Amino acid sequence: MILTGLDAILNVEDARRAARRRLPRGLFEYVDRGAEDENAIGGNRRDLDAVKLAPSVLVDVSQRTQEAEVLGRKQSSPLVIAPTAVAGLVWRDGEIALARAAAAAGIPFCVSTQSITSIERIAAESGAELWFQLYVWKNRERTLALLDRAWAAGARTLVLTVDTAVGPNREYNLRNGFGIPLKPSLRAGIDLALHPRWTCEVLLRSLIASGVPTYAHYPDEFRTQLGRVSLSDEMSLATDVTWEDVALLRKRWQGKLVLKGVLRVDDARKAAEHGADAIVVSNHGARNLDCAPGPVEVLPAIVDAVGDRLAILADSGVRRGADIARFLALGASGVLIGRATLYGVAIAGEAGARRVLDLLRNELSITMGMLGVRSLSELPGCLAPLPAGQAPRQAAIKAGAAT
């Protein structure tokens, strides 16, 4: 039997290859690639692959559950769909498609500040549990007004991204002509012509329905088409965000507060001291700082230091259910998925995202069965001892991260 359509998507890499065929090169590379020399992307993969899980045998695994408690709420799996800025470009109304897939899977969807679809519309049309990701604008009053808007729309978890103080160096976007603001060029025109399905089904439909896309969460008087520069510097992302801003957000936000992008023990401790409910140990999917450590390298030390004071989530580089198991075995209580579900939504909207989530959950279930565990809480007991040659490096990492 020859598999066709979504049935032919058997893993995240299959979805990635299909998304690469469908999307214009510039847009796909924006989703898929990293920063500078892109060493960190390979590093994330190598670090995850180095985490070995040893199975217990002769265990009855006929009744396995992926039920998890994430930030005090029980859900069907430990996953959260991470915030991404271009979901509405890879598929028409892509944020709504992702949110609906999250709702079907019983997991939260995190809406980005730079979403092309408003949180109000996502809430109305998806029925998902929504988190809201925040980039701080230079004008703090407008930032606080955005918090009120997210709360009014039903978001009860705020995710402050803390690892993007300045714009990253992504040289491939200069070469392929893709960037924000969008700039017309001969290269871009050829790219669109070579991808007629995306051009017709996403770009042209969006242009006919609502014109050139905009960032939906910017105030009306400052909302510009993605092809133009910002009308005001006060809506630029702030480069002076400090712990004082965290204290301000903690005072203003009534729900859960999460800091995303923590890679140091001292910062994790400060997060706990400033009232954060959780952190995400993440290197932004290797998209920001190419010399940053991967989350696997620092997660154990952070869990040891503050695991009893706040919830610890992780992301970056997940491609298999076994990767989810690895992060949980290292001490994370939940895992954010970014690129994987973007690949899915790029090829088939909500159905594509649901396919990817189903694949990851099935792989996690198989991994649990092979390991002889019946619940996620048993995974830390599966960590295999490090080979002798790796032990000093792990100790050095832990000592360094503790400073």
Would you name the residues annotated as active-site residues?
284
AA letter at 76: S
Q: Is the peptide bond before 181 cis (omega within 30 degrees of 0)?
A: yes
How many Å apart are CA 343 and CA 348, to the nearest integer?
A: 9
Beta strand 256-262 pairing with 157-161:
parallel
What angle do the packed helices 339-371 and 12-22 form, to 10 degrees?
170
Shortest CA distance to 99 belongs to which of 85, 90, 107, 109? 109
Structure token digits, residue 319 = 């491609």
Shortest CA distance to 330 belongs to which of 297, 306, 361? 297
For the chain, give percent helix, strand, coil, nearest 5: 50, 10, 40
- The 3-class secondary structure across 216-277, one letter per residue, is CCCCHHHCCECCCCCCCHHHCECCCCCHHHHHHHHHHCCCEEEEEEECCHHHHHHHHHCCCC
No. of H helices and E strands in the chain? 17, 10
**φ/ψ of residue 162, rounded to 5:** -115, 5
Shortest CA distance to 28 belongs to which of 12, 17, 43? 17
